[in-house]
Structure 1
């Protein structure tokens, strides 16, 4: 029987595009030796599937956080009589006696981390998970008992961190509402599998932590971007309340620590990520870098005729971390040297407010004939080949597929020096600091000023580097070897434990 892997995702595969989804798709489609089950945490239950799954994906568990009043509407308890029984069983007495002590311990572990060791916090998450397997999530979390417990801890036990007289009831309610949504994965049963593989040190890693502690399932963690850093960047701009923001900082920090602590092995996609993991006290022997890989037979140079006008190409979803606003500001500067330049941005907007700001910026600078929002493309090879220069403007990255795919296509590349991008490009492209439109513009002008042949020679070097280091075959084989190694070690450990008994 083939090994079975539970691959967990958050806001990505198979319902949304992006680099993590590309990685998941390649992993599942190119590893027939293994069966996969997918557990996908999504924003709402109505997202359509965006990818054609491979035959070895045997189950997809969608875990929506929003878009429903009660998780029972999209729950796992079938027939409905099971769900009804769990609601009937969830009485005030049960909540007080069985849940509130766990909830208090959870909140103290999150808000006062110095007073609780990480192993105790992990076992608390497991105990809450086991509670929700029996009792109703919505009825428990919406109870007056939970509200009173949360309000008390938020305004008394956390006095050293915040000023309770400045916390409004609205802020407390907003925080508890968010906590309600973010803990929904805890009420989902863990499928029977041989290994759990999380695509982020985030809430999608909670099944891995629970599986490790409760069922002794080995837990593997891959980090693409640094979740804790990206969460901090996001919260700084999206949550106005200092109290709510600080609580979420503490919550996400606790979740990241749990993921790092309980993962058997952490496979960051670049060496840059290891610095963050080591800052969070992950032992070096638990960390092994595995670079993302692309298919050199799929992404290769094309012999299209030269463009009538210079084309600067950008590939990526449109949201704040991809930095398209910086690229638009750079376009205004590049126009001064190349008046007929076109900036062609391929990618679907996933943050509509940010996309609106990008469109407004285009209008402010009068760039309507310069900046082209080209939308999603199903032909990335053709898209990369359209550009004289590929320009990436991200604020935060892991090891982006857009860069290594462009390298395989033999493109002349300039990128911000974030995450693993410098490790990918080496000396085959240009690097500039993030959020510096003038420096990005200068680098683009430098590449556009080269002859077509000079840019082509840059592309030859970048493709050679990609073939040596970043092939899909090498990436997938490393993951397969790691799966089999961890499963084998777990089975040996199980045999030894049984023999002792």
Structure 2
């Protein structure tokens, strides 16, 4: 089958968030053909280039979400001067969308938002895009009227012109896929299935492909896009009215994506709960855990704890250094741990800090460690000089992740916000006992093979770590159970097998019906026999009396698929009796 893979800030870019998972999926399902449709978030991402794609990827089409004025769209799809009728249609559709956004009632406004969205999509298809119209003065005035209307959100009532301009601009970026030429028979219209690797704008092309061409949509979310938007909004300098309007908009867009999707595959129960609260039908949800490479941890995992007797008292933290990881609580907890287990060591291993905020947070953590352990060579970074060390992956002491886990007796996760805890799964592959905070999908991943404590509670974190450091046999038992669980649930192989089954299930239940044409574009008569459209199989006599027997020769019966239109079903008369003996 032909699959349209829809990404945002992911494959085929080198530094895409879902690049590695998409690459494994495409290579693992080599029997299918893939076309990649990617939305990029920034100039820096595009400047880093793209990865080398496998031969089963036929075409790659990209579009930016970060440009203020999309020159690529203007060059690709020239626009003429819009007439009065076109402007009136746009005003009607955008007014309906603005009303739904400003009211903020997802359940009551879902239908109006969907009607407006598809109305704008059809207008964009005939008029060559709506980038300018969505940023126009007319659109801003329409949004302002909706904010001032009775029943609008309280925060929307206070929106000023700068707030409205910011909201309209960011909404246009999210709606940029409406203006793309990706929905014809030479693009997504030719796909058998659209697979969006996240919700939000990435799934919008899939919704439009379903609307225009009937292509079924599969939505995979390992980190719920709406949740990510809410978390990111708190770190911006947007005003409260702007944040309220954008939260309402993205909530309605998420609900429409879930309503239009044929199947939704959350990566864990935490994401599943978010999707259900945002209106996803429980019958559409199928949890598929992310797949990770287990081979690079095999040697360590199968070695157990015998090879690590030299460092049984080492606690290891692995991840990206940022405030959400709450290293402050971990350092305070380790102060108590070190007082009770003087031989204990804490290794903080992270990727190189990127950005001023990450560097400032890392400097703050280093300073705190120096204050907590002033008599033990503060500021030292080598193991043995100080009970706390800060190291980078790829450095002399940590050439790779496997080397970090090999030195640990217990792996610690101290986050206050977490989606799917990758470092925790890596520790499980290595057969390590773990202590984690109860956030995100941690409990689902651990499943009883590690200790879980409340977040932002240094004392509870310290108690759990001390309990494991003083009981090596318990560590070994938990580590063995953790490795067995990880190999069963979180490998690349189980992930690919799950999507192979889901692809076939979707296409078998929702095949795309296309008109067959010849080389000149004329329809081919009788290209689709009636039997191809109707489910059901029953025996029909090919000679002699109906139901006369099986096999070949006179009176034999043969099973065929028979088309039964809805008008042919009469109440009280079995369908099989009415068609018995009919020639097919």
TM bracket (short chain): 0.7 to 0.9
Distance in 1, matches of 2:403 and 2:22, equals: 23
Match of 1:162 in 2: 155
Q: CA deviation at 1:53?
A: 3.3
Is 1:144 paired with 2:173? Answer: no
Worse-superposed segment, 371-380 or 28-37: 371-380
Greater gyration radius: 2
Distance in 2, matches of 1:314 and 1:18, equals: 24
Match of 2:69 in 1: 70
Q: CA deviation at 1:324?
A: 4.5
Greater helix proportion: 1
SS at match of 1:300: helix
Q: 2:100 aligns with which of 102, 109, 112?
A: 109
Deviations 1:250-272 (A, max 9, x none): 01111111122111111122233
Distance in 2, matches of 1:90 and 1:371, equals: 64
Match of 1:363 in 2: 367
Q: CA deviation at 1:423?
A: 1.9
Deviations 1:316-361 (A, max 9, x none): 3444544445445545554545576233222354664244224323
Match of 1:314 in 2: 317
Going from structure 1 to structure 2, the CA distance change for 1:262 and 1:240 (only over 3 Å counts) comes to: same
Match of 2:257 in 1: 259
Contact 2:294 / 2:491 at 8 angstroms: preserved in 1? yes
Residues matched between the structures, number: 487
Contact 1:71 / 1:137 at 8 angstroms: preserved in 2? no
SS at match of 2:38: strand
Going from structure 1 to structure 2, the CA distance change for 1:25 and 1:330 (only over 3 Å counts) comes to: farther
TM-score, normalised with respect to structure 1:
0.85
Going from structure 1 to structure 2, the CA distance change for 1:333 and 1:91 (only over 3 Å counts) comes to: farther
Contact 1:311 / 1:344 at 8 angstroms: preserved in 2? no
In structure 1, runs of 5+ residues without a counterpart are: none
Distance in 2, matches of 1:444 and 1:416, equals: 12
Going from structure 1 to structure 2, the CA distance change for 1:399 and 1:163 (only over 3 Å counts) comes to: closer
Q: CA deviation at 1:462?
A: 1.0
Q: 1:475 aligns with which of 489, 492, 495?
A: 495
Worse-superposed segment, 16-25 or 37-46: 16-25
Q: 2:40 aligns with which of 39, 42, 66?
A: 42
Match of 2:518 in 1: none
> Could you say which structure has the greater relative contact order, defined with CA pairs below 8 angstroms and 6 or more residues apart?
1
SS at match of 1:345: strand
Is 1:129 paired with 2:121? Answer: yes
Going from structure 1 to structure 2, the CA distance change for 1:206 and 1:425 (only over 3 Å counts) comes to: same
Q: 1:178 aligns with which of 155, 170, 177?
A: 170
Match of 2:345 in 1: 341
Distance in 2, matches of 1:422 and 1:484, equals: 31
Worse-superposed segment, 9-18 or 388-397: 9-18
Deviations 1:216-250 (A, max 9, x none): 11111122133333433332343452111111110
- Superposed, 1:435-450 pairs within 5 Å as 435-450=456-471
SS at match of 2:154: coil
Is 1:465 paired with 2:485? Answer: yes
Going from structure 1 to structure 2, the CA distance change for 1:356 and 1:10 (only over 3 Å counts) comes to: farther
Distance in 1, matches of 2:113 and 2:21, equals: 31
Going from structure 1 to structure 2, the CA distance change for 1:217 and 1:241 (only over 3 Å counts) comes to: same
Q: 1:205 aligns with which of 203, 208, 219?
A: 203
Distance in 1, matches of 2:316 and 2:438, equals: 18
In structure 2, runs of 5+ residues without a counterpart are: 371-377, 381-387, 515-531, 535-562, 567-584
- Superposed, 1:187-336 pairs within 5 Å as 187-188=179-180, 189-190=182-183, 191-192=187-188, 193-239=191-237, 241-302=239-300, 311-336=314-339
SS at match of 2:502: helix
Going from structure 1 to structure 2, the CA distance change for 1:284 and 1:350 (only over 3 Å counts) comes to: farther
Distance in 2, matches of 1:122 and 1:378, equals: 51
Deviations 1:141-196 (A, max 9, x none): 332222222222233356453363x4332222222222232222332224322111
Structural RMSD (CA): 3.3
Q: CA deviation at 1:212?
A: 1.9
Distance in 1, matches of 2:14 and 2:323, equals: 17
SS at match of 2:427: helix
Distance in 2, matches of 1:378 and 1:49, equals: 25
Q: CA deviation at 1:282?
A: 3.0
Q: CA deviation at 1:480?
A: 0.7
Going from structure 1 to structure 2, the CA distance change for 1:245 and 1:480 (only over 3 Å counts) comes to: same
